[in-house]
Structure 1
Amino acid sequence: MLVRRRVLSILAVLATAGIVLVSVADPYAGARASAFYREPVLAKPAAVQRFAIDGGFVLVAVQRDRFTTEIVGGDGVAAAPSGPVVPAGTAQAYAAGVVASRGWAASEFGCLASLWNRESGWNSRAANPSGAYGIPQALPGSKMGAGWQTDYRVQIRWGVGYIAARYGSPCGAWAHSQAVGSY
C-alpha cells in the first residue's frame, strides 16, 4: 500500500512537471512565443487571380474559403454595378470568386464564362421554354434553393456545385456542352 502511494505521488509530480515544461517550452503558449507564432493567419497576403469578363476584368483575392472581388473596367478603373438589374460583369465577378475559392485555375473560369454565355448570357432571369431557368439554366429552377428566381449568387453557387459534382470542373462541363449541345 505504501509503495502504491509513493508511485502515485511520483506520477503526480512528474505530471505536474510535464505540464510546467510544456508551458515553458511550447511556443504556442503565449508570452514566450516568437512574433512569427503570434501573427494572425489572415494577416498573410491573399492569392490574387485576374479573370477576364465583359468590358474588363475582375481581381479575385482568396484567403482560406473566403474571397473578395473587384471589377475593373477595360480602362483600368474600378467599375461599380448600377441599376436594379444585375449586370453580367457583376455576376461574372462573383462567379470568378466562386471558381477561385474552389482552387480552380483562371482557365476554368474561361470555360464557365463560355458555357454560361451560351446558356443564359449571364441573365439571372433567363427562362427557357423547357423550364430551365437562370444563369446556369437549372431544370427546374426551384432546385437551386431559396432566392433562385432573382438572386444571381444563389444561381451561381448552385451551378458551380452542379458542375463540380457532375463534370469535375467548368472545362469538363464546357467540353461536354461542345460535344452534346448542352450540359
Structure 2
Amino acid sequence: MLEGNRVSRISVRGFAVVSATAVTAVGSVVGVASGSVAQNNNDAEATAADTTLLADIPAGEQAQVQTASLTQQADAQAIAADASAKKDAEAAARKAAAETAVAKKAAAEQAAKAAKERVEAKAAASRDSARSSSSFPVQSSYTAAQIQAMARQMVAGGQFQCFSNIVDHESSWNYQAVNASSGAYGLFQALPAGKYASAGADWQTNPATQIKWGLNYMNSRYGSPCEAWSFWQANHWY
C-alpha cells in the first residue's frame, strides 16, 4: 500500500513514472518491459527493488509504465530506421548522379565520334568522286563487274558496300536500266534521267559518269552512301 507522500521510484529507460502520490525521473533501464538480465550484483539488487515497488503499484499504473517503455523503444527504433533510410537514400542519389554523369559523357563522346566519322567519310567520298569519268577507257558496253570495278575506284572503301546495296536494289548494276512506268533511268534510277547531265554529258554511255552523279547525290543529300542506305532501308527509296 502507498503511504502519504511516499515517492516510489521505478526505473523504465529514463522515463518519468507517475506513482500514486509523486513523479520521479529515473535514468536507467531495468527491463520492466524488455525482460533484460542484470549484468552485476548492484543491477540485480536494483532490479529486485524496483520489481518490489512495481508489485506495490496498482495494475493500471503498471500497464502505463510498460506502455511508456514500449513506446520509447518503438520511437527510438523509428528514429534509427528513418536515419538509416535517409542515409541510404542520399547514397543512392549520389550513385545515380554519378552514373548519369558518366552516361552523358559517354553519349557525348560517342556523338562527337560519329559526327567526326561522318565528316571524314563525306570528305573522302568527295575526294574519290572528283575523279573524272574520262579517266576510264570508253567502251561500247560494260558488264556489271566492270561497272562495279569503276565504282570501287570512285567510292571510299568504307562506303562502298552501302553504295553497292543501293545500286543492287535500284538497277542491279545495269547502267541502261529503264523503269517502264516512270521513266527512271540508269544505275540510280534518276528521275528525270537528264539529272545525270550535271556530272557529264556522256551519262547515257559512260557508267562512270552515272556513278559520279550518284555518289555526289548521296553525299549532298544524306552525308554519305551509308547514311543514304540507312534511309533506303527504312523507306525503300532515297
Question: TM-score, normalization: structure 2?
Answer: 0.40
Q: Does 1:127 align with 2:147?
A: no
Matched with 2:225 is: 170
Asked whether the equivalents of residues 133 and 139 of structure 1 are also in contact (C-alpha less than 8 Å), the reply is: yes
Q: Secondary structure at the match of 2:155?
A: helix
**In structure 2, distance between residues paired with 1:139 and 1:114:** 19
Q: Secondary structure at the match of 1:130?
A: coil
Matched with 1:77 is: none
Matched with 1:157 is: 212
State the shift of 1:107 in Å: 3.0
Letter in 1 for 2:192: P
Within-5 A mapping of 1:107-122: 107-122=158-173
State the shift of 1:135 in Å: 0.5
**In structure 2, distance between residues paired with 1:139 and 1:150:** 17
State the shift of 1:151 in Å: 1.4
**In structure 2, distance between residues paired with 1:96 and 1:167:** 20
State the shift of 1:89 in Å: 1.4
State the shift of 1:143 in Å: 1.4
Let me know the Cα RMSD of the aligned residues.
Answer: 2.4
Asked whether the equivalents of residues 141 and 148 of structure 1 are also in contact (C-alpha less than 8 Å), the reply is: no
Letter in 2 for 1:97: Q
Q: Does 1:144 align with 2:196?
A: yes
State the shift of 1:84 in Å: 4.2
**In structure 2, distance between residues paired with 1:66 and 1:125:** 22
Question: TM-score, normalization: structure 1?
Answer: 0.51
**In structure 2, distance between residues paired with 1:137 and 1:107:** 23
Larger Rg computed on CA atoms: 2
**In structure 2, distance between residues paired with 1:179 and 1:66:** 31
Asked whether the equivalents of residues 125 and 135 of structure 1 are also in contact (C-alpha less than 8 Å), the reply is: yes
Gaps of 5+ in 1: 1-61, 68-80, 101-105
Of 147, 152, 163 in structure 2, the residue corresponding to residue 96 of structure 1 is: 152
Letter in 1 for 2:149: A
State the shift of 1:85 in Å: 2.7
Matched with 1:28 is: none
State the shift of 1:149 in Å: 1.9
Which deviations, in whole Å up to 9, do the C-alpha atoms of 1:59-117 show, x marking residues without a partner? xxx99x669xxxxxxxxxxxxx9x843111111111111113xxxxx231001111101
**In structure 1, distance between residues paired with 2:220 and 2:153:** 18
Within-5 A mapping of 1:1-183: 84-100=140-156, 106-128=157-179, 129-145=181-197, 146-183=201-238
Percentage of identical aligned residues: 45
State the shift of 1:177 in Å: 0.6
Letter in 2 for 1:136: F
Letter in 1 for 2:194: S
Asked whether the equivalents of residues 141 and 149 of structure 1 are also in contact (C-alpha less than 8 Å), the reply is: no
Which deviations, in whole Å up to 9, do the C-alpha atoms of 1:129-180 show, x marking residues without a partner? 2121000111111111112222111111001000100011111111111100
The change in CA–CA distance for 1:89 and 1:147 in structure 2 (over 3 A counts) is same
Q: How many residues align?
A: 102
